[in-house]
Amino acid sequence: MEEQAIVTAPVLPKYNLNEEQEKKEILRHYRALLRALRPKLKKGDKELVRHAFEMAADAHKTMRRKSGEPYIIHPIAVAMICVEEIGLGIRSTICALLHDTVEDTDLSLEDVEREFGHEIARIVDGLTKISNVIDTNTSQQAENFKKILLTLTDDPRVILIKLADRLHNMRTLDSMKREKQLKISSETVWVYAPLAHRMGLYNVKTELEDLSMKYMEPETYKEIARKLAETKRERTRYINEFIRPIKDKLESGDLDFEIYGRPKSIHSIWNKIKKKGVAFEEVYDLFAIRIILNSPHSREKEDCWKVYSIITDEYTPSPERLRDWLSNPKSNGYEALHTTVMGPQGKWVEVQIRSKRMNEIAEKGLAAHYKYKEGSSDEDRFDKWFGQIREVLNNQDTDSVDFLQDFKMSFLAEEIYVYTPKGDVKMLPIGSTALDFAFSIHSAVGTKCIGAKINHKLVPISHKLRSGDQVEIITSNKQKPSDDWLNFVVTAKAKNKIKDALKEVKRTIAEEGKYILQRKLEGMGAAFVQTNVDTLVAFYKFHSQLDFYYQVAIKALDLKELKEFNVLGDKLEPPKPPKPQVHELAVEPVPHYSKKDSELIIFGESSDKIMYNLAKCCNPIPGDDVFGFVSTGKGLIIHRTNCPNAPSLLSNYGHRVVKTKWAKNKAISFLTGLKIIGMDDVGVVNKITNVISGDLRVNISAMTIESHDGLFEGTIKVFVHDKEELEELVIRLKQLKGIHLVDRFDAEKV
């Protein structure tokens, strides 16, 4: 049985066409779009699509993409993805064709509304980025995400077209500069891939993750792709061997089905290698077997379980690897039965069983979901999800980056299912606590929650829930939320309600501060009026009047500078700031090197050598792929591009990222760490230290070895000059007899 191909970006043609050839090329793309739309076209639709195409082509006629191709090819390609890969229709095609016109050309939103009506104009507006954010502290990317998400609840097509736009940008990222590739890939993996997953677009999510990895971790990506290509023949042979007995039984069971093997994505294989700490060769489920049944709706569930029975008669299943999303579909509509069985040669194999309808929902997500929903009276899980988002979006005073973080944790995480005492099911993001559950019932239950009974056992409010738990909340009228509650919750609803309750308490205390200030101002002969209060809030550098009054009330601010203010009439004049004194800037030296041997060159305003700090979260060394991050208060910090914090920093604060590159300097050594696992044997420590200090003359900073049950696990901190030296060290250690794994630390352990 043939494997499906691994996702890779298409090779871009080099554009050196003349005007006539270009016109033909554009028309070829447009005709392909019309062919894809043919089954959906009703009377008058073709003319509308043509009008949108002509408007977009005219608006973009002088524009080109970085690859040199005419810009109009991008909107046509986005429309094509919407139709073919996401399953959207005519209106979405028109919106996709026009999605960049309002932002990048002379065409206005009014023009779009006049030609195509309010609905299409609203979607195009949702797709138009915020071009200028006034507050420099907020991240423009986060503001744009927020705007997209605000439109999401009105019309989910905004997100679906945005995902198509992002997918095409990722497929054509080769022509961009390196720093742009990093920023766009980080945003993709941070928000867009989880969003595609949440919208049920598994193929889009997989391709976005793989393409992001291709730019963020190119070496690892190429290595896994190469190994997958090398092992393809033996995998195909194994898949055929696995499928043969099942196929015979399914045919004799009178089932209409398709069965094939599908390789796991490069990104998911890499995740497994990292999470399990194993080599590529040890990742047991490099592929999944998929069985798709052509069953009537009424018999789908029954047939899926019948197939499960046939498979588990042939192969032994792993009891903890059964996933039943038939009885309890995911909130993005995903339905399937997953099981992992022990196949021939003692290899674990994942098997996914679903009907044709379920498969279309798994691949086309939301668009297919709505197609099959017509005529169904079930409360739609997507609508429920949108309702929860709408509720959170109504609270508009959160900082954009915080909002994005909360949104990611609350709405893009995997879910767990928990039950109320009456047996009603509640869906919550993974990591939710008893307190999250209390707020999901009602904010009044949340604010009075003192504990919970989980499966009839008493637990604290911070207890993390697991799928299948039955939860009963215990409340008390004396209970009040406190600041530490914010550390116990992950859902945006709970966070917002706790912040509101804390603000209410703060407001009551702040009243006292307001009264103290009023007495002080009147004692000075100044009026207690809004302009004077605003002057003081600005002088003491508070974000809000409430914070200022609160600090006065709790005596954290004693207002002693008030006597330096002038009173003109009844108006307060702040004291003149003293003339700035010029001090020499003293920079604290970073261990192991001084300013003159700084070996990072910063490309930007200046190419001089400058001071920097190395991030503690990823400990970069020369040779690592890195970027510079201008932090507030700590200057320039250098992170590896595969640092655990990189996606968040590059997505939310792209404007603070500087292009950085190592210069050669063998005189400086850098601290890094290695984790070693192997067979516990006499003299193992001696063997390891001989290689490090004796053969390679690398200095050891620290070493710990713990052994248990015949295995040892060690951590070694060493000073190396660059990545090449570290890689040589890893290769030499792996060659030692009995060593199973040598890996560089990824986290803050050095």
Name the residues annotated as catalytic: 103-104
Exposed, middle or buried, 519 (CB in 10 Å: 0-12/13-18/19+)?
exposed
Quickly list DSSP for 524-536: HT----HHHHHHH
From residue 302, how far is each of 299, 309, 316, 337 by CA, in Å?
Answer: 5, 11, 21, 11
In the DSSP assignment, the letter for residue 582 is P
Beta bridge partner(s), residue 323:
338
In sequence order, which residues have a C-beta less than 8 Å from that of residue 659 and are 6 or more positions away? 178, 179, 602, 603, 604, 627, 628
Nearest to 623 by CA among 724, 692, 499, 478: 724
Q: What do you get for the CA distance between the two ends of the chain, in Å?
A: 48
b/e sequence 637-658, b meaning 16+ C-beta within 10 Å: bbbbbbbeebbbbbbbbbebbb
* Residues sharing a CB contact under 8 Å with residue 315, sequence separation 6 or more, in sequence order: 341, 342, 343, 349
- 350, 300 contact by CB (below 8 A): no
Which of helix, strand or coil describes residue 449? Answer: strand
Phi, psi of 43 (to 5 degrees): -60, 130
Residue type, 16: N
CB 673 within 8 A of CB 619: yes
Instruction: Report the alpha-carbon distance of residue 711 to residue 703 in Å, rounded.
Output: 17
